[in-house]
Amino acid sequence: CEPLDVPVLADYIERLISERLDVGAGRVIIVDDDAELLEHYSLVLEEGGMAVRKVQSPSELPGALSEFRPDIILMDVQMGSYSGTTLARMLRFDPEWVGLHIIFLSSEEDRDFQVDALSKGGDDFLTKPVSDDFLLRAARVRCYRARQLDKLASRDSLTGLLKHSLVKQEVIKEHARCRRLSQKSVVAMLDLDHFKRVNDTYGHRTGDLVIKGLANLLRHRLRKTDVIGRYGGEEFLVVLPDCSIGDALRTLQTVCEQMNRIGFSSRGEEFHVTVSIGMATLETFDRGEDAIEAADQALYRRKSAGRNGVTV
């Protein structure tokens, strides 16, 4: 086994990160009671293309967090009557911030102190003074990692599609957007037909492959700007922005036809599966949730009318 070439590996990782991480989008909150340091750190990160929010008094942190929604926090430890470790500990009690990456930045060199700070909720401990270059690179890799984890957490592990709550959020966002711009958008609910039979006949693992099959078909058929989520077990929710009801109908009918054409095989047999789809216009409802409900009712009507097709 060849030993790893560390410098080459580091170089490779650095390149990977700079290519993949849109640093312009990396978001950092810096908490420090020292106004001069705060200014300096924020300049360094801003010059590196990151978005920065400065927090000099810890009491401003909760507001800044919900407003700015950072990828990471750089936190001073000693701040007058406050300590950064206590702040980190408090954040960890809030489910919303339990996964937020907190980097302590302090001149405290005592290892026991540092370990204690990490045990209270910090993820890293950087000892001041830090060089500008190191600070920028450390912030960048941490933002990149935070985004990767965030993406993983929002994706369904079987299909890689958005999870229930996230696709619902997307519907609500798109509802607001298309109303504001007086555009037409469509929301559709899809459900595999007689899927219980597939599981009962061919087993759950084959059933999983069918679910993945529909997910992949949707990814290929729909536009880059369309939103696709796994709403439940064998149910999918899609949002088609800037799409007329006629265009949506045609696109989704093709999805039905192509789904039915896929040949799945299991236990030496080939079998085919169909999907039913209910859809609704988004902008005609007062709330995004109501449009989802309407799509669901249309799906229900489709199921009664004979499955394998689209109903508005």
- From Mg ion, ligand GH3, none, interface partner of 199 (C-beta below 5 to 8 A by class): ligand GH3
Q: 207, 199 in Cβ contact below 8 A?
A: yes
Residues 156, 170, 174, 191: which binds Mg ion (CB under 5 A)? 191
- From Mg ion, ligand GH3, none, interface partner of 303 (C-beta below 5 to 8 A by class): ligand GH3
Of 234, 235, 270, 289, the active-site residue reads: 234
Q: Is 236 in the site for Mg ion (CB under 5 A)?
A: no
Q: Which is nearer to Mg ion, 192 or 222 (CB)?
A: 192
Q: Minimum CB separation from ligand GH3 for residue 111, in Å? A: 47
Q: Minimum CB separation from ligand GH3 for residue 158, in Å? A: 6
Strand-pairing partners, residue 280, are 187
What character string, x for contact with Mg ion (CB under 5 A) and - otherwise, covers 22-41? Answer: -----------x--------
Burial classification of residue 154, based on how many CB atoms lie within 10 Å of its CB (0-12 exposed, 13-18 middle, 19 or more buried): middle
- From Mg ion, ligand GH3, none, interface partner of 33 (C-beta below 5 to 8 A by class): Mg ion
Q: Is 76 in the site for Mg ion (CB under 5 A)?
A: yes
Catalytic: 235? no
- From Mg ion, ligand GH3, none, interface partner of 208 (C-beta below 5 to 8 A by class): ligand GH3
Q: Minimum CB separation from Mg ion for residue 67, in Å? A: 23
Other CB atoms within 10 A of residue 101 CB: 19
Q: Which is nearer to ligand GH3, 233 or 246 (CB)?
A: 233
Q: Minimum CB separation from ligand GH3 for residue 131, in Å? A: 49
Phi-psi region of 267 (alpha: psi -120 to 50; beta: other; left: phi over 0): left
Q: 282, 249 in Cβ contact below 8 A?
A: no
User: What dihedral do alpha carbons 161, 163, 167, 169 form, nearest 10°?
Assistant: -150
Q: With CB under 5 A as the contact rule, which of the stretches 71-79, 89-97, 142-150, 175-183 interacts with Mg ion?
A: 71-79
- From Mg ion, ligand GH3, none, interface partner of 211 (C-beta below 5 to 8 A by class): ligand GH3
Q: Which residues bind ligand GH3 (CB under 6 A)?
A: 191-196, 199, 204, 207-208, 211, 233-234, 303, 307
Q: Minimum CB separation from Mg ion for residue 305, in Å? A: 15
Which residues does the annotation mark as catalytic?
234
Binding site for Mg ion (CB under 5 A): 33, 76, 78-79, 191-192, 195, 235
